[in-house]
Amino acid sequence: MSLLLATLVAWLFTMGTYLLLQRTLTRIVLGLGLLSHGAVLLLQTVGGRAGDPAIVDSDGGVDGIAAPLPQALALTAIVISFGATSFLLAMAYRSWLGTSDDQVQDDLEDRRIAAEVADLEGHYDRDRVDEFDPEVPT
Amino acid sequence: MSLVVLPIIIPILGAGATLVVSRSVRLQRSVGFLVLLATLGASIALLVEVEANGIATIDLGGWPAPIGITLVADLAATMFLVISMAVILLVHVYSIGQRCDLDGPAIFHPVYLVLAAGVGMSFLTGDFFNLFVAFEVMLLASYVLITLGAGRERVRAGMTYVVINLLASTMLLAAVGLVYGATGTVNMADLVTKFEALPESSRIGFGVLLLAVFAIKSAIFPFFFWLPDSYPTAPISVTAVFAGLLTKVGIYTMIRTTTILDLDEVQPLLLAAAGVTMVIGVIGAVAQADIKRILSFHIISQVGYMLMGLAIYTVAGLAGAVLYVVHQIPVKTALFLVGGLVEETTGTAALHRLGGLIRRAPVIAALFAIPALGVAGLPPFSGFLAKLSVVQAGLAAEEYAVVAASLFASLLTLFSMSKIWVGVFWGEPDEPTPVLADPDGGTLRPPRLMVWATVGMCALTLIVPVFGMQVYDLSERAAVQLLDRAGYAEAVLP
């Protein structure tokens, strides 16, 4: 069971990382969601064998119980990642309202300096720097 | 009640109070100011106590140390706490002068106080999971502040910041989970002994994972790219407080992790990262043509020096790192505050549109000179002592390559500071802003409250040079305390 959970954690991290590297904001949000699920599941997995309860027996025995601390940690982490994801979604919506586009925008100042460097190296002529379009990937 | 909880609980309760009075900005401002003043007072009291009686701790909820949440205040943590709270207080005054609390709904003051609580909690926490929570408190507040008003440009730049920090937080959570799986505890003092029972390879593995997370937060090469992209777009008082504090909180956690896990094996890696961070950061700064962007790249470069002190990993090196953080927090904030004064009076921070401000606004020029010479490390200003102690520690440890890199970076720092000076204060602007183009305009006067807050911040930067010996002695004692892992464990565990 632990092996299955460990594989699942690895799978969630892989998918999350892949989605995070996309240029579309909704995919980035989904990717971060998957990553935090992976981390929470990891916390659960380190807590002990799957299926064991995190409470002491009625006669006070402590054999065969899961560690309760990771469950408390996981609960805290879930609340935090819920808040962060909602904020991120609100930002993605704002970004969509501003640009009617779901893509991550380039940093204009950074692009301008890159264009100046290219200009110094003779790849651009001066006029093109002014009409440099940040929307087109270079 | 123990003093240790006060720097966290006062700003949290204050944040609630400012929400209650959110109908009146005037009331919010005074409540916020008084709360931050009380927090600073509590932090100073804590420093005095820790200085006299050694490490102070408290077990929250009465649960004894390795089980419950423990707050630990040692000398290094409280020194950073006091200087951070002083900076937060002065920037609060500045932000009132700049009126950035009138922008949008009345959330600036509550969120700003939550940020203060998060910073305090990050310094005082005694376990790694609580450190994750403290980071989240601090970062969620910073997400709101960096996108304040939610204009198009701020959302764009804020997106990079939020995504990269959420990724780092998730990695921290996973690392904490793995550490718990291996040792059965997340308490730092308990980990001191628990890690000794682990094989060396897993100790180093966990250490590097944690250090990588904190390196993202402190913008160390190769994880620095998000910082100059996102910082310059926020309101200047927000950028100033971020620049002063957030990366230094990251450095503090790196110092803490390295000493708790006794990671002297990764020293060569950290040294290389420190050298490259210094040089790359300052070269990035030289290429920029906007005050805020130049200063943002300087944050990266200066973080390299603190990492260098840590990577040398001797008493002298750590003392240098602690002193460097104490010097850098007010100096960096002061530079951004002056940049904000320039932007407020002229309407721009682009060098080619500025010029001749030494005639039009001599006060701003004088206020720029003090932190600029401080960051460049010219005697007698504050950077000199900090740089000297780091470099001397490097020479004593015979790490000549990184010392050479640090001296080279210092030279370029001076060069880019003079680039700002020449561009903003001397000469004539190429494309003047309307204010500067007016030929018979008189002296420019920025809002008085902003000027006084900046004056206060510049005065704060002079603490290191004026009380040089005392501050260095305190840093050295903090370094000895940091390296005494057994003493730390003994103070925290019952």
Residue B57: beta bridge partners? B72
Angstrom distance (rounded) from CA B250 to CA B121:
13
Minimal Cα distance from B129: which residue of A?
A: A73
Predicted pLDDT at A136: 47
CA B386/CA B244 separation, integer angstroms:
16
**pLDDT-derived band of residue A95, with 50, 70 and 90 as boundaries?**
confident
CB-based contact B133 A46, cutoff 8 Å: no
- Cβ atoms of B163 and A32 within 8 Å: the answer is yes
The amino acid present at B343, given as its one-letter code, is E
Instruction: Name the band, by pLDDT with cuts 50, 70 and 90, for residue A124.
Output: very low
Contact between B373 and B420 under an 8 Å Cβ cutoff? The reply is no
Determine the distance in angstroms separating the CA of B151 from the nearest CA of chain A, rounded to an integer.
Answer: 8
Would you give the end-to-end CA distance of chain A in angstroms?
48
What is the number of other CB atoms lying within 10 angstroms of the CB of residue B225?
15
Cβ-based burial of B353 (10 A; exposed 0-12, middle 13-18, buried ≥19): buried
Confidence of residue A122 (pLDDT cuts 50, 70, 90): low
CA distance to partner chain A, nearest, from residue B243 (Å): 19
Q: What is the pLDDT of residue A117?
A: 72
For B472, the token pair is 């260095």
Identify the pLDDT of residue A1: 64
The answer to whether A73 contacts B174, with C-beta atoms less than 8 Å apart, is no
Instruction: Answer whether residue A127 shows pLDDT above 60.
Output: no
| Nearest CB neighbour to A91, from listed B67, B159, B176 | B159
Calpha distance B126→B187 (Å, rounded): 6
Q: What is the pLDDT of residue A11?
A: 95
Q: Looking at residue B476, what is its pLDDT?
A: 93
> Measured between alpha carbons, how far apart are the two ends of chain B, in Å?
19
Compare CB distances from A95 to B156, B166, B174 and report the shortest one's residue.
B156
Q: Which amino acid is at A128?
A: R
B70 SS3 class: strand
Instruction: Identify whether the C-beta of residue B32 lies closer than 8 Å to the C-beta of residue B113.
Output: yes
pLDDT by residue, tens only, chain B of 494 residues: 588 999 999 999 999 999 998 888 889 999 999 999 999 999 999 999 999 988 898 888 888 878 888 999 999 999 999 999 999 999 999 999 888 777 667 889 999 999 999 999 999 998 899 999 999 999 999 999 888 876 777 887 888 889 999 999 999 999 999 999 888 888 999 888 888 888 888 888 999 999 999 999 999 988 888 888 888 888 888 899 999 899 999 999 999 999 988 888 888 999 999 999 999 999 999 888 888 889 999 999 999 999 999 999 899 999 999 999 999 999 999 999 999 998 888 888 888 888 778 888 888 888 999 999 888 888 888 888 899 999 999 999 888 999 999 999 999 999 989 888 888 888 777 777 777 777 666 777 888 889 999 999 999 999 888 888 899 999 999 999 999 988 898 888 87
In this structure, what DSSP letter does residue B264 have? G
pLDDT at B150 (0 to 100): 67
pLDDT given for residue B185 in this prediction: 87
For residue B455 the two structure tokens come to 């004056």
Number of H helices, E strands in chain B: 22, 2
**How high does pLDDT run on average in chain A?**
78
What is the per-residue pLDDT for B280? 92
Alpha helix segments (H runs only) across B108-223: 108-124, 128-146, 152-183, 188-196, 200-217
Return the SS3 of B57.
strand
d(CA A7, CA B409): 46
**B180/A91 Cβ within 8 A:** no
Q: What pLDDT does residue A123 have?
A: 53
Pinpoint the alpha helices (H) of B54-127.
75-98, 108-124
Is the Cβ–Cβ distance between B143 and B238 less than 8 Å? no
**Structural Rg of chain A based on CA atoms:** 24
Cross-chain Cβ contact A94/B173 below 8 Å: no
The token pair that represents B135 in the structure block: 């980071």
**Contact between B155 and A95 using a beta-carbon 8 Å cutoff:** yes
Residue A19 has pLDDT above 80, yes or no: yes
Does an H or E element contain B451, and which?
helix B448-461
Task: Calculate how close chain A gets to B181, using CA atoms only, in Å.
Answer: 5
Q: Which residue of B has its CA nearest to A95?
A: B155
Report in angstroms the alpha-carbon separations of B2 from A111, B72, B320, B371: 52, 11, 30, 36
Best B111, B166, B178 member to test A by mutation, with max A CBs in 10 Å, is B166
Lowest mean pLDDT among A67-76, A92-101, B291-300, B404-413: A92-101
Using an 8 Å CB-CB cutoff, list residues of chain B that contact chain A. Answer: 67, 129, 132-133, 136, 140, 143-144, 147, 150-152, 155-160, 162-163, 166-167, 169-171, 173-174, 176-178, 180-181, 184, 186, 229, 232, 287-290, 293
Gap between the Cα atoms of B89 and B32, Å rounded: 9
Locate the chain B residue with the closest alpha carbon to A117: B287
CB atoms B177 and A70 under 8 Å: yes
Tell which of A109, A110, A135 to mutate to test the B interface (max B CBs under 10 Å). A109
Residues in chain B closer than 8 A to A38 (CB atoms): 170, 174
Confidence tier at A56 by pLDDT (50, 70, 90): confident
Q: How open is the CA angle B311-B316-B319, to the nearest 5 degrees?
A: 85
Q: Exposed, middle or buried: residue A27 (CB in 10 Å: 0-12, 13-18, 19+)?
A: middle
CA–CA dist B162, B22 (Å, integer): 26
A95 chain-B contacts, CB cut-off 8 A? 152, 155-156, 159
Residues 48-107 of chain A whose Cβ lies under 8 A from any Cβ of chain B:
67, 69-70, 73, 76-77, 80-81, 83-84, 87-88, 91-92, 94-95, 98-99, 104-105, 107
More confidently predicted of A129 and B104: B104
Q: Is the peptide bond before B494 cis (omega within 30 degrees of 0)?
A: no
Mutant choice from B60, B63, B125, B173 vs A, greatest count of A C-beta within 10 A: B173
